[in-house]
Amino acid sequence: MELPPLTLSTLYLVATPIGNLEDITLRALRVLKECDVVAAEDTRRSGQLLKHFGLSKPLLSYFQFNEARRSEEIIERLRRGEKVALVTDAGSPGISDPGGRVVKAAIAAGFRVEAVPGACALVAGLTASGLPTDEFHFIGFLPHKSGQRRNKLETLKAFEGTLVLYESPYRIEKVLGELIEVFPERQVVLGRELTKKFEEFLRGKPADLLALSKTRSLKGEFVLMIAPEEYIKQTSQDSESPLGREPV
């Protein structure tokens, strides 16, 4: 079946692998092949990705500190009828990564914005966590400063669904220490190295996970998920019922 060509003057938001290169979709490859330019958070990293798949495209640097200037340039390219693919280092553009500003600018200027969905650490982590997925709240990265981070965690007590955060390996122990104070009895799941060879899910209360982090090096970017308070009650009830017990 012959696929329709890409639409002129369109901004394509292309999800890229979050670890395993097989995360890429066939549609993403086609868009990257047929677009006129790739706006990338890190041109070196995106250049390696394109090379791996045998693609060669002009690359335009687009990251947090040049978003305003580059957004204007991308809008001008769209005015000329170009097809622009926007990618970040890993995952979906705009999800705790650059992209939101240019999307807003493109829509305001009357241009088409099209998502090319694919890998997303948020979805990968949450669906494999075992925690409730019917309602969840994505917070992204917590503030870097401990006082602001603690205040943010306090505000999250008001949410009823599963909480989903991103965190770096450099702050994970500090965050777990703060979770002991704010959510001591909640079930926490840490997903790391998602879709990579050493993908791992660690489960337990904050104190359990902090103790584990003292015995081994936890590397990689983390998806940190906190169960809702109701999950604790439900788990307790299940364990007390005949259906929730281990067979004797």
Residue 224 half-sphere exposure, CB side, CA atoms within 13 Å? 26
Tokens read off for 132: 């409730």
Question: Binning pLDDT at 50, 70 and 90, where does residue 3 land?
Answer: confident
**146-168 burial code (b ≥16 CB/10 A, e <16):** eeebeeebeeeeeeebbbbbbbe
* 164-204 per-position pLDDT tens digit: 999 999 999 999 999 999 999 999 999 999 999 999 999 99
| Residues making up the chain, counted from first to last | 248
What value does the mean pLDDT take over residues 117-139? 96
- Domains in the chain (CATH in brackets) are 10-116 (3.40.1010.10), 121-235 (3.30.950.10)
What's the pLDDT at 231? 83
Give residue 235's pLDDT: 67
Where does the pLDDT of residue 69 fall: very low under 50, low under 70, confident under 90, or very high at 90 and above?
A: confident
- Can you give the pLDDT at residue 232? 73
Q: What is the pTM of this model?
A: 0.88
The gap between the terminal CA atoms of the chain, to the nearest Å, is 57
Query: CB neighbours of 4 closer than 8 A, spacing ≥ 6?
Result: none
Region 210-215: what's the mean pLDDT?
94
Binned at pLDDT 50, 70 and 90, residue 72 comes out as: very high
